[in-house]
Amino acid sequence: MKTGIVILNYNDYENTLRVVEQVESYFSLSYIIIVDNCSPNKENLKLKELENDRIVFLRADENKGYGSGNNIGLRYLEEHTDCELVIISNPDIEVKEEVILKMQEDMQTNSFISFLGPVISELGKSIKGWKFPSYFVEVLSTINFVSRYASKFQMYPESYYQSSLTQVDVIHGSFFMARLSDFKKIDYFDENTFLYYEENIIGKKALEKNLKIYVDNEVSVIHALSVSVNKSLNKIRKYKILKKSMFYYERCYNKRNFVAILFLKILYFLSLGISFLTFWI
């Protein structure tokens, strides 16, 4: 099955160059699409020099966010190639070709799988998938001092991952494979979020279309946790963007009412105030 990979770059020339040079030799990939999300550092334009018959360099006119940037690559694959599968990959990923080959085999053998993720090795932890966050989890995630525990309520128990393939609500967005036709059915990434919550939104959109999301528990990739994001955003700004995406997700995909969203926003402003106070002290 012909497969294209979309690698979104934003001011992360070194990592993007490294991962492109790594996967360029992989026969499992028919196309490598580099999308530069309007990086301000002109060094990133050097990535265009990598272009050949398999590598395509695209540049966004402006940085409208993670989803918008990836959609440029997805739509290019749809309009200009005959790829059946697509991989979305962060630049800060290390992946072996046998991982891609195994995932391709999974997709070819199991036609019911629309989206497939590997195990993500991140800061010494193995992340496979998670449940949709409940309103209770969103509340916890907005309260200082307990927010770090919120994600524990979203995780499936390890006993859930008994077979080689396991169905989940959400897979990690740093690296995953999808059928291009099914990605198109959900209109690709929602461009109304700048960053964060993309995985949960894809999960909800897939659920609406009755598309299945799975994890292959037998393969893994290494993720160097948000290298690109940490280069470009400070802690407070990341928190603001995260919560803006959360409000959008809760309002548009969980259909929370005005009071529920208002309560989350009150918690957010209180937490933001405490964060600023802690910063200055």
Q: pLDDT tens digits for 169-216?
A: 999 999 999 999 999 999 999 999 999 999 999 999 999 999 999 999
Beta carbons within 8 Å of 244's beta carbon, 6+ residues apart: 193, 194
State the CB neighbour count (10 A cutoff) for residue 34.
Answer: 25
Residue 227 has pLDDT above 70, yes or no: no
Residue 25 has pLDDT above 50, yes or no: yes
3-state secondary structure 31-46: EEEEEECCCCCHHHHH
Q: How confident is the model at residue 124 (pLDDT cuts 50, 70, 90)?
A: confident
Q: Span 156-179, mean pLDDT?
A: 96
Are the beta carbons of 209 and 129 closer than 8 angstroms? no
User: What CATH class is the domain 3-280?
Assistant: alpha beta
Residue 279 has pLDDT above 50, yes or no: no
Task: Calculate what percentage of the chain has a pLDDT beyond 70.
Answer: 93
Q: How confident is the model at residue 149 (pLDDT cuts 50, 70, 90)?
A: confident
Q: How confident is the model at residue 254 (pLDDT cuts 50, 70, 90)?
A: very high
34 token code pair: 């580099």
Task: Calculate what percentage of the chain has a pLDDT beyond 90.
Answer: 81
Indicate the SS3 state at residue 140: helix
Strands 3-9 and 175-179 turn out to be: unpaired
Are the beta carbons of 280 and 244 closer than 8 angstroms? no
Residue 233 has pLDDT above 80, yes or no: no
CA pair distance 168, 134, nearest whole angstrom: 15
Helix residue ranges per DSSP H, the chain = 13-23, 66-80, 97-109, 135-142, 180-185, 198-208, 227-232, 235-252, 258-280
Classify residue 268 as exposed, middle or buried by CB count within 10 Å of its CB (0-12, 13-18, 19+).
Answer: buried
CA pair distance 77, 111, nearest whole angstrom: 20
Q: Span 67-94, mean pLDDT?
A: 97
Q: How confident is the model at residue 272 (pLDDT cuts 50, 70, 90)?
A: confident
pLDDT at 278 (0 to 100)? 43
Residue 276 has pLDDT above 60, yes or no: no
Indicate the SS3 state at residue 118: strand
Sketch the domain layout of the chain as residue ranges. Answer: 3-280
The DSSP call for residue 153 is: G
58 or 225, greater pLDDT: 58
Indicate the SS3 state at residue 176: strand
Q: Span 25-50, mean pLDDT?
A: 94
Residue 262 has pLDDT above 80, yes or no: yes
Q: Span 243-270, mean pLDDT?
A: 95
CA pair distance 28, 107, nearest whole angstrom: 13
Q: pLDDT tens digits for 126-138?
A: 999 999 999 999 9
pLDDT at 281 (0 to 100)? 35
